[in-house]
Amino acid sequence: MPANLPPPYFEAERRFREAKTPAEKVEALEEMLTIMPKHKGTDKLRADVRRKISKFKVQSQQKKGASRKETGYSIDKEGAAQVAMVGPPNSGKSSLLVKLSNATPEVAQFPHSTWKPTPGMTSYENIQFQLLDTPPITNEYMDPWMGDLIRRCDIIAVVIDIQNGPLKQFEETVSILQGLRIFPPGFSVPEGLEKAPFVKKMMVVVNKVDGGEEEEDYEIFLALWESELPCIDISTKMERNLARFVEMIYEISGIMRVFTKAPGKKPDFNSPFVLPKESTLENLATKIHKDFVKNLKFARKWGGSVFDGQMIQRDHILQDGDVVEIHI
């Protein structure tokens, strides 16, 4: 299968070849990885780019010297999607992580108590999402490695405080993200941007809506807010809408769950395969094992728009909740 790489990829590749320092090479390689389409034809190329990123990151840290080795954080992705919670100081990101996972970040009333990213797993039905509590970002200060961390995530949850100028907090946070070349789908990207933008699924979480007065403030916020991003009001103190927040992550993620079964056996509904929406039977077979794709004859499917047990072919588009019996 051909790679079908878009023109911006070759521009980033040119910058990689011309880069003088390991750090510049890493930046160009990460752009190449972001731009590169995800399909079977780019699997080897993606693996090669990842190896180069790892190699030049080591070189970059070595050049900076032992006193500056810890220049950033890389959190391995787990679960169905990685969600970076970003926002101003004291918006409640750490408290939200504590409520929804077993993670133990430092929770304090003073600003900037979070100084490193902390991951935690939260459940939605039969899958899990990885939440990242991150240090605060403001116009005055942001850790220099934060941009790389946020660009790597799947979803961004902008967490703001209803009790502390939520409109200003939202506008400032989005402005900072745009400065990092991070935009939600549908946002107009400024003309003349020298490097490729990072398009990330994004939602807004308005925290500390603890009672009637804050509920009125939230309604005012919505009336004045000029954005079409998904938005939810929560309260970590009152545990308001926390389950709905996780449900929205699933809705925004663009994924689906597919279950498999062996002939004559029942499916395991506790362990779905997670795939992008509109994935085909061939995509599922690839996810299970590379040999399945080579040896795949046909499959039978239960659920969706077919009769139970109907035979399907490689190009059949699967739906959330389908049960598939693969024959090789």
Query: How far is it, in rounded angstroms, from Cα 308 to Cα 66?
Result: 62
Q: Is 27 left (phi over 0), alpha (psi -120 to 50) or beta?
A: alpha
- Number of C-beta neighbours around residue 33 at 10 A: 19
Sign of torsion, CA 99 101 104 105? negative
Closest alpha carbon to 99 in 212, 214, 240: 240
Residue-wise pLDDT for 6-60, tens only, equals 888 888 888 898 888 888 888 888 888 888 887 777 878 887 888 788 778 767 7
CB 225 within 8 A of CB 170: yes
Domains and CATH numbers, the chain: 7-67 (no CATH), 82-253 (3.40.50.300), 255-327 (3.10.20.30)
Q: b/e per residue, 234-243, with b = 16+ CB within 10 A?
A: bbbeeebbbe
CB 302 within 8 A of CB 322: yes
Side chain identity at residue 289, one-letter code: H
Grade residue 256 by pLDDT with cuts at 50, 70 and 90. very high
Q: What is the pTM of this model?
A: 0.76
Closest alpha carbon to 56 in 79, 85, 27: 27
Share the mean pLDDT of the chain: 89
Residue-wise pLDDT for 62-98, tens only, equals 665 544 444 467 899 999 999 999 999 999 999 999 9
CB 304 within 8 A of CB 317: no
CB 201 within 8 A of CB 155: yes
- Number of C-beta neighbours around residue 274 at 10 A: 17
Query: How far is it, in rounded angstroms, from Cα 257 to Cα 324?
Result: 11
Per-residue model confidence (pLDDT) at position 207: 98
Q: Of the given ranges (101-105, 148-152, 257-261), which has the lowest mean pLDDT?
A: 101-105
